[in-house]
Each structure stands twice: as C-alpha cells, then as structure tokens.
C-alpha cells in the first residue's frame, strides 16, 4: 500500500492526532461519563457484546471511547460497524470510537499491560499482536510491543501503572526509554461504586506524567455489564 492509499483508507478510529488532543485535555472528572479508553467485550474477557457496549456509550453520553480487548480488535470492528449502521439510520450525537487494544508484555522482568490506540490494525507490525493470544519471547518485551504500536501509527500507553510488582516510578522511567506516549493516570484501583479514580495513586501517576511530559488517559477497565464499573 502506498502513502496515497494509506491516507485514503485511514478510518476515523485511526485519527491519532485528534486522539492526542483528547488525551491532553483528560482530567479526573473526564471518566467515566465523557471519555472511557479502557473497556473489554466478549471478544476477550468481558461480558458485553460490542454492540451492547456501543449502545451503553450512547446512553451514558460519552464523547469518545476505545475498546481495548486483549490481543484483539474484533470488538472494535463490530462496535464500529454497529455505530456506522446507526449513523446511516439517521441517529446523531454518536460518540467517537478509536481503535484500541491491550497487550501483555514484560518490562523490568515484570508483567505489564500496554494499551495501544489509533493504530492501523492491518499494519504488518501489529498484526501478530492481534491474534487473541499474549505474545511470547522477544515479541513480549515492552520494547517490541511499544515499537509495534508506534510503527502501526498508534500511541502506546502504560495501563494502570500502580497495579504491578514494580513501582510506577521504576516502570514509567523504563517505559520512557522505550518510547511510551502516555500513562493511564485516572484509574479506580479499588473498584469503588460509583466509579472514581483513586486519589493517592492518581496524584502519584500525575506527578510522574508531568515530570516526563506524558499524555494522560482514563478508563474504567470494564469487564462486566456496566461501562461505569470495572466488574
């Protein structure tokens, strides 16, 4: 595919520049009723069908979101098709859906999850990570995962950086050296109801994000039946 063809076939879900602007505007109150960039469907380990998820996004009034199934973009494709059908039927005020994925990787000999956004799912650099299974060996290193996402035109974000065996200070510093674009700053580590980002962890990640000039994202990490909760 040449450059002209790539531009012509690029979908709105791959508009990484507009997504970058959204990430720059994200604050604690942005999630979960304006934006949500971490959700799962039955295409990985979630309980919502992609069409159900998209319908909930409309009911909630989301402005933009991403489905981040593990090692798959099938949920994104089904949800986008459903949204396109709603648009063709004349429905307005539809939320913007961006391409997303969550990839298991290794950083500082620690299992971490890397979120990818706005990439081209058909790019050869990323295709191997979208087969429904966690990568192994060299492909599983954070360096390889981040490079693949960026080569496919996307942005790489370290998911829930305070959930791992190593400290966020160690992990984020290491991820910076590998070209990470952002961190999931606003996250509910204790799964409260109603949802709210965890204050102590948020402040810690915000400080690191500011220090390194990273983008900030937010998400509920939904695995259950409601986009407003994790489980």
Query: What would the pLDDT profile of 120-157 be if each residue is shown by its tens digit?
Result: 999 999 999 999 999 999 999 999 999 999 999 999 99
Tokens representing 13?
Answer: 């879900």
Q: Residue 194 gets which letter from DSSP?
A: S
Q: Give me the pLDDT at residue 3, please.
A: 34
What is this structure's pTM? 0.95
> Rounded to an integer, what distance in angstroms lies between the CA atom of residue 133 and that of residue 151?
20
Whether residue 32 has pLDDT greater than 80: yes
Superfamily covering domain 14-218: Metal-dependent hydrolases (3.20.20.140)
> Rounded to an integer, what distance in angstroms lies between the CA atom of residue 143 and that of residue 146?
5
What residue spans define the domains of the chain? 14-218
In Å, how far from its chain's centre is CA 210?
A: 20
> Rounded to an integer, what distance in angstroms lies between the CA atom of residue 152 and that of residue 117?
10
Whether residue 7 has pLDDT greater than 50: no
Class of residue 3 by CB neighbours under 10 A (exposed 0-12, middle 13-18, buried 19+)? exposed
Contacts of 17 (CB under 8 A, 6+ apart): none
Say if strands 182-186 and 215-218 run parallel, antiparallel, or are unpaired.
Answer: parallel
> Rounded to an integer, what distance in angstroms lies between the CA atom of residue 19 and that of residue 14?
9
Say if strands 35-36 and 155-158 run parallel, antiparallel, or are unpaired.
Answer: unpaired
Other CB atoms within 10 A of residue 231 CB? 12
- Binned at pLDDT 50, 70 and 90, residue 2 comes out as very low
Place of tokens 């290794």: 106
Class of residue 162 by CB neighbours under 10 A (exposed 0-12, middle 13-18, buried 19+)? middle
Whether residue 4 has pLDDT greater than 50: no
- Binned at pLDDT 50, 70 and 90, residue 9 comes out as low
Rounded to the nearest 5 degrees, what angle is found at the Cα of 98, between the Cα atoms of 107 and 174? 15
Residue among 168, 144, 170 nearest 156 (CA): 144
Q: What is the share, in percent, of the chain residues with pLDDT greater than 70?
A: 96
3-state secondary structure of 89: coil
């Amino acid at each position: 595919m040449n450059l002209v063809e790539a531009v012509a076939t690029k979908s709105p879900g791959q508009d990484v520049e507009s997504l970058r602007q959204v990430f720059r505007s994200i604050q604690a109150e942005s999630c979960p009723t304006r934006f949500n960039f971490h959700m799962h469907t039955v295409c990985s380990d979630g309980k919502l069908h992609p069409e159900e998820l998209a319908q909930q996004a409309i009911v909630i009034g989301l402005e933009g979101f991403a489905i981040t199934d593990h090692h798959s973009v099938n949920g994104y494709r089904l949800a986008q098709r459903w949204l396109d059908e709603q648009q063709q039927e004349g429905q307005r005020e539809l939320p913007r859906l961006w391409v997303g994925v969550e990839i298991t990787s290794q950083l500082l000999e620690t299992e971490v999850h890397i979120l990818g956004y706005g990439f081209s799912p058909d790019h050869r650099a990323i295709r191997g990570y979208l087969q429904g299974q966690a990568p192994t060996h060299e492909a599983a290193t954070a360096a390889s995962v981040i490079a693949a996402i960026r080569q496919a035109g996307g942005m790489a974000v370290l998911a829930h950086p305070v959930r791992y065996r190593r400290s966020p200070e160690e992990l984020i510093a290491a991820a910076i050296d590998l070209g990470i674009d952002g961190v999931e700053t606003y996250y509910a580590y204790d799964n409260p109801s109603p949802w709210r980002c965890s204050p102590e962890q948020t402040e810690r990640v915000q400080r690191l994000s500011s220090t390194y000039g990273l983008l900030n994202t937010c998400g509920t990490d939904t695995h259950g039946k409601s986009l407003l909760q994790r489980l």
